[in-house]
Chains A and B, each alone.
Chain A
Amino acid sequence: MLYGLDFDIAHTLGTSVLLLSFALLYQRRLSGVLEAFALQAVFVAASAAWQAWSQDAPQLYITAVIALGFKAIAIPLALGHIVRKLGIHRTIETVLGVNLTLLAGVGLVALSILLVFPVTLASGNVTRENLTLALSVVLLGLLMMITRRNAVTQVIGFMSLENGLVLAAVGVKGMPLVVEGSIAFSILIAFIVFGMFFFRIRERFDTLDLQYLESFRGDRHVDRP
Chain B
Amino acid sequence: MTDTLPAILLQLVQFALVLAVAPLLTGVARKARGRLLARKGPPIVQPYRDLAKLLRKEAVLAENASWIYRIAPYLIFAILWLATALVPTFAIRHPLSPAADLIALVGLLASARFLLALAGMDVGTSFGGIGASREMTIASLAEPAMLMVIFTMALFVQTTSIPSIIDFVLQRPVGLRVSFALALISLVMVAIAETGRIPVDNPATHLELTMVHEAMILEYSGRHLALVEAASMLKLVFYLSLIAAVFAPWGLADSVAGGAPLLVGIAVWLGKLLAGTLALSVFEVAIAKMRVFRVAEFLGGALLLGLLGTIFLYVSQSP
Contact yes or no, A102 B173, CB < 8 A:
no
Q: Which residues of B contact A110 (CB under 8 A)?
A: 311
* Closest chain B residue to A116, Cβ basis: B315
Taking a contact as CB atoms closer than 8 A, the residue among B296, B300, B304, B316 that contacts A129 in the complex is B316
A98 within 8 A of B: yes
Taking a contact as CB atoms closer than 8 A, the residue among B297, B304, B314, B316 that contacts A22 in the complex is B304
B178 within 8 A of A: yes
The size of the chain A interface, using a CB distance under 8 A, is 26
How near does chain B come to A133, taking the closest CB pair, in angstroms?
Answer: 7
A12 within 8 A of B: yes
Q: Which residues of A contact B318 (CB under 8 A)?
A: 117
How near does chain A come to B125, taking the closest CB pair, in angstroms?
Answer: 31
Q: How many A-B residue pairs have CB under 8 A?
A: 55
B317 within 8 A of A: yes
Measured between alpha carbons, how far is A15 from B312 in the docked complex, in Å? Answer: 7
Taking a contact as CB atoms closer than 8 A, the residue among A99, A113, A129 that contacts B297 in the complex is A99
Q: Which residues of B contact A26 (CB under 8 A)?
A: 297, 301, 304
A119 within 8 A of B: no
B307 within 8 A of A: yes
The size of the chain B interface, using a CB distance under 8 A, is 21
B54 within 8 A of A: no
Taking a contact as CB atoms closer than 8 A, the residue among B176, B182, B315, B317 that contacts A1 in the complex is B317
* Closest chain B residue to A117, Cβ basis: B318
Measured between alpha carbons, how far is A204 from B297 in the docked complex, in Å? Answer: 37
Q: Which of A3-11, A81-89, A152-160, A193-201 contacts B (4 or more CB under 8 A)?
A: A3-11
How near does chain A come to B319, taking the closest CB pair, in angstroms?
Answer: 8
B10 within 8 A of A: no
Contact yes or no, B300 A98, CB < 8 A:
yes
Measured between alpha carbons, how far is A186 from B297 in the docked complex, in Å? Answer: 36
B308 within 8 A of A: yes
- Residues in chain B within 8 A of chain A (CB atoms): 173, 175-179, 182, 296-297, 300-301, 304, 307-308, 311-312, 314-318
- Residues in chain A within 8 A of chain B (CB atoms): 1-2, 5, 7-9, 11-12, 15-16, 18-19, 22, 26, 98-99, 102, 105-106, 109-110, 113, 117, 129, 132-133
**Complex A-B: 27 CB contacts under 8 Å:** A2-B175, A5-B175, A7-B316, A8-B176, A11-B176, A11-B178, A11-B312, A11-B316, A12-B176, A15-B178, A15-B179, A15-B312, A18-B308, A22-B308, A26-B297, A26-B301, A98-B297, A99-B296, A99-B297, A99-B300, A102-B300, A102-B301, A106-B308, A109-B311, A113-B314, A117-B318, A129-B316
